[in-house]
A and B are shown apart, each in its own frame.
Chain A
Amino acid sequence: MTTRIDRKFAALKQINRPALVTYFMGGDPDYDSSLRVMKALPKAGADVIELGMPFSDPMADGPTIQLAGRRALDGGQTLVKTLQMAREFRQEDDDTPIVMMGYYNPIYVYGVERFLADAKESGIDGLIVVDLPPEMDEELCLPALKAGINFIRLATPTTDDKRLPVVLGNTSGFVYYVSMTGITGSALPDTSKVADAVRRIKGHTDLPVCVGFGVKTSSQAKAIGASADGVVVGTAVVNAIANVLDKDGKAVADPAEAVATLVRGLADGVAEARLAQAG
């Protein structure tokens, strides 16, 4: 198993700070800009990178990430190029964990064994595949664990105590708690409810629990970070890129700088999360 995720969360635990996990869509709006966004993330304070794999039919995503996937595909992004992006990133950063996130079909068509070998070689630490529940573990989860890549599972408000052990069974790296039933980019629910859910999941596992879906601002990151081991921000990052594109998808300002500005603010939020608690 690669150890970047475990090392990162252990280091953050030492300083009592939740992780800032940032999602972006690989190849949005084009390969070069997207690679610069990726490189800017850790420098602006992101602890873990979720590298989105575009898919033509993103059933669990809201309009923002749907459009980002469309831009990436229109820009010629493929799974081969997304892996290449990770490989290029690794040439200057061998520390920040990279988790690839997306849907199963492109991986299935690429070939599971070939994909895992290439992902490992590209410096990928974990996978989040939205449409592979534990019932389908033999497809990718078990081969990934065997290949030494973490398989990070989503737990949701519908995952009750009876089902949690099933979901956590083969999970490694961290657990991704989806804060509400819905698609990415929806409104964040009451943070006290989220805190209850995090506590509930922690009763079943020693893995770090990160919370995502709906976290957009520094103050939300701060509030969620008080209880969670990590805060996942996706739609807001993608929006920061979309906001500097004109109607033809051409950048009118630097997407990497726009993302860096947002991420610096979010990083300040998570840095204050436990201070607020202590105070």
Chain B
Amino acid sequence: MEYALNQPAKPNSFRTGPDEQGMFGIFGGRFVAETLMPLILHLEEEWNRAKTDPEFKAELEHLNAHYTGRPSPLYFAERLTEHLGGAKIYFKRDELNHTGSHKINNCLGQILLAKRMGKTRIIAETGAGQHGVASATVAARFGFPCEVYMGATDVQRQAPNVFRMKLLGAKVHAVSAGHGTLKDAMNEALRDWVTNVEDTYYLIGTAAGPHPYPELVREFQSVIGRETREQMMAVEGRLPDMLVAAVGGGSNAIGLFHPFLDDENVRIVGVEAGGKGLEGEEHCASLTAGSPGVLHGNRTYLLQDGDGQIKEGHSISAGLDYPGIGPEHSWLKDSGRVEYVPIMDTEALEAFQLLTRLEGIIPALEPSHALAEVIKRAPTMGKDQIIVMNLCGRGDKDVFTVGKLLGHDL
């Protein structure tokens, strides 16, 4: 691995963050209103107790196995590998989880924390609706009332997920502020939380927000990477050469990456939503084209103007349509450990169709971005090399969006 001279010195381990203040280098932190501060400290205490409590661990493992269906398979994509003619491609199939994405891993962990904290009401924000569905699911399973904030634009483009949430008993609030996407949903969820701080647990869907959320979400999602390590050793007897995952807020990616961060020979690539291209405003590539700023409780790379006003961004994929990124990814970018690249809407759409036809798997538009990068990289690598891509969600929810883009009237 190469490090530029102006980069911070390489740490002994990439896996020790955050520090006690919740910082990953200059990123992370607790930038919240005072009203929320006592609650966030309480959450941190409870989390610190829970993570070393064998009972908590056992309960979560039991749910992961019997409710979600973990471990998810590590699948060798034989026909895609053959088609691309380079590295062997494996998919970590988190799209087969109950509720159809990796989001359930985090929701089960957090609902157990909410229960421990004595909270009686769950709120969540959602972009594509995958986290909203997973939140509504665990709320139903544990008997909590649940309210989900979702941008009005996303409510439209992810209609099937909205209905699923309603079936599961959740109340869905369409947020019309801004462009009506994930950022606006998060603002509104924070307003609800600050108002109902006594009884409400905010189930954040990605590895972002104030400390300790980035850490605890990462821990709940790291089951993806831990399983991948074991499965890869069992099948290939060695670690992969490259990991690829899509990053919106970055929870599926950090979940896959984190257990491998100290394995120097494993190259790690995060794929951002390049939207309609980085030269304009219509993308969500906060790491590639943004700058450090403070939003939604943490310091991280953001899409913003010179006055510190946050831009709206754009992506074909509602789940990547967010102008920020989890703080640990910002740190991993600056430290040089992980490479972040953009993929355009059109490339993701092509990858979506290719996988559907070659492997009989309809991926969500989010991992379709990761797949588009795999399609670029695999042919340049040797046949003895191995790529693992996190197939973090299934595409049922995107069928209508894709149909529209391809000119089919569904």
On whether A167 and B34 interact (CB within 8 A), knowing A181-B195, A182-B194, the answer reads yes
Interface SS, B side = mixed
Give 9 closest A-B pairs by Cβ, nearest first: A109-B308, A106-B308, A182-B195, A56-B309, A156-B35, A78-B307, A105-B308, A59-B190, A131-B31
User: What's the Cα separation between A103 and B190 when bound, in Å?
Assistant: 14
Q: Which of B79-87, B93-101, B105-113, B291-299 contacts A (4 or more CB under 8 A)?
A: B291-299
Chain A residues whose C-beta falls within 8 Å of the C-beta of B297 in the assembled complex: 131
Choose among B30, B177, B296 the residue that contacts A135 (Cβ–Cβ < 8 A): B30
Chain B residues whose C-beta falls within 8 Å of the C-beta of A178 in the assembled complex: 34-35
On whether A132 and B31 interact (CB within 8 A), knowing A79-B308, A107-B308, the answer reads yes
Chain A residues whose C-beta falls within 8 Å of the C-beta of B307 in the assembled complex: 78-80, 106, 109-110
Binding site for A on B (CB under 8 A): 21, 29-39, 177-178, 183, 187, 190-191, 194-198, 291, 293-297, 299, 302, 304, 306-310
- Restricting to A55-91, which residues have a CB under 8 Å from any CB of B? 55-62, 66, 73, 78-80
Chain B residues whose C-beta falls within 8 Å of the C-beta of A186 in the assembled complex: 195
Q: In the complex, which of the residues B29, B35, B306 has the most CB atoms of chain A within 10 Å of its own CB atom? A: B35
Size of the chain A interface, CB-CB below 8 angstroms: 43
Is the Cβ of B33 less than 8 Å from the Cβ of A131? Answer: yes
User: What's the Cα separation between A237 and B307 when bound, in Å?
Assistant: 25
> Please, which residue of chain B has its CB at the minimum distance from the CB of A176?
B34
Choose among B37, B191, B195, B296 the residue that contacts A133 (Cβ–Cβ < 8 A): B37
Q: Which of A158-166, A243-251, A265-273 contacts B (4 or more CB under 8 A)?
A: A158-166
User: What's the Cα separation between A155 and B33 when bound, in Å?
Assistant: 10
Q: In the complex, which of the residues B21, B30, B178, B294 has the most CB atoms of chain A within 10 Å of its own CB atom? A: B294
> Please, which residue of chain A has its CB at the minimum distance from the CB of B184?
A57
Beyond the given A106-B308, A109-B306, could you list 19 further A-B residue pairs with CB under 8 A, ordered by the A residue number?
A59-B187, A60-B33, A60-B191, A61-B191, A104-B294, A105-B294, A105-B304, A107-B308, A109-B293, A130-B33, A131-B32, A132-B31, A133-B32, A135-B37, A154-B35, A156-B33, A182-B35, A182-B194, A183-B191
Is the Cβ of A183 less than 8 Å from the Cβ of B31? Answer: no
> Please, which residue of chain B has its CB at the minimum distance from the CB of A183?
B191
Ordered by A's residue number, 13 sampled pairs between the chains whose C-beta atoms are within 8 Å are A56-B309, A61-B191, A103-B294, A104-B294, A105-B304, A108-B293, A110-B307, A130-B33, A153-B34, A155-B34, A156-B33, A158-B38, A182-B194
Is the Cβ of A108 less than 8 Å from the Cβ of B308? Answer: yes
User: What's the Cα separation between A133 and B31 when bound, in Å?
Assistant: 7
For the complex formed, measure the closest distance between the CB of B310 and the CB atoms of chain A, giving whole angstroms.
5
> Please, which residue of chain A has its CB at the minimum distance from the CB of B190?
A59
User: What's the Cα separation between A61 and B309 when bound, in Å?
Assistant: 16
